[in-house]
Amino acid sequence: MTRLQTAHTRDGRRLEASHVLSVPAADAWELLVDTARWPDWAPLVTGVEATERRIQLGTTGHVLVSGVWVPFRISDYSDSDRRWSWCLAGVPAATHRVDALTADRCRVVFELPVHAVGSAPISLRALERLESVLDAD
């Protein structure tokens, strides 16, 4: 089930796009943190150059969006919480989070800052693509 709702997160009031998947949380998390796989599920990202393949706090690089290379930096990261945030071109963007529900089900959430509300449809599409990629794996 895909949802779009407002929520109060540790970063304040956000718009949350979320989707429940029938896969272990660890599998969804590994897909989200693997920069080489971002073009597989992120609708606008067609290329990635990053300092690390598996992100960590401080990872930097560029994503190719609509033919333009945009710089990014991972600004918050926690393996234990399965949560990471990034800045695009120096502007805070989405936080990505994976919540374990059961051993074989999880919820993937994109927390969008208020200024990024226009990216909600893209985030919902990304969540659907995540599911397709994980089902294919």
Give me the pLDDT at residue 68, please.
98
Look at 3 and 28; give whichever has higher pLDDT.
28
The dihedral over CA atoms of 28, 30, 31, 36, expressed in degrees to the nearest 10, equals: 180
Indicate the helix (H) or strand (E) that contains 14. strand 12-21
- Those residues whose C-beta lies under 8 Å from the C-beta of residue 107, and which sit 6 or more positions away, are 18, 19, 20, 21, 98, 99, 101
State the chain's mean pLDDT as an integer.
Answer: 95
Give me the pLDDT at residue 12, please.
85
User: pLDDT tens digits, residue range 38-51?
Assistant: 999 999 999 999 99
In contact, 57 and 76? CB cutoff 8 Å? yes
User: pLDDT tens digits, residue range 51-84?
Assistant: 999 999 999 999 999 999 999 999 999 999 999 9
Residue 26: which pLDDT band, with cuts at 50, 70 and 90? very high
Give me the pLDDT at residue 129, please.
97
The string of DSSP codes covering 63-131 is: EEETTEEEEEEEEEEETTTTEEEEEETTEEEEEEEEEEEETTEEEEEEEE-GGGGGGHHHHHHHHHHHH
Query: Is pLDDT at 23 greater than 90 in this prediction?
Result: yes
Look up the pTM and report it: 0.93
Give me the pLDDT at residue 117, please.
85
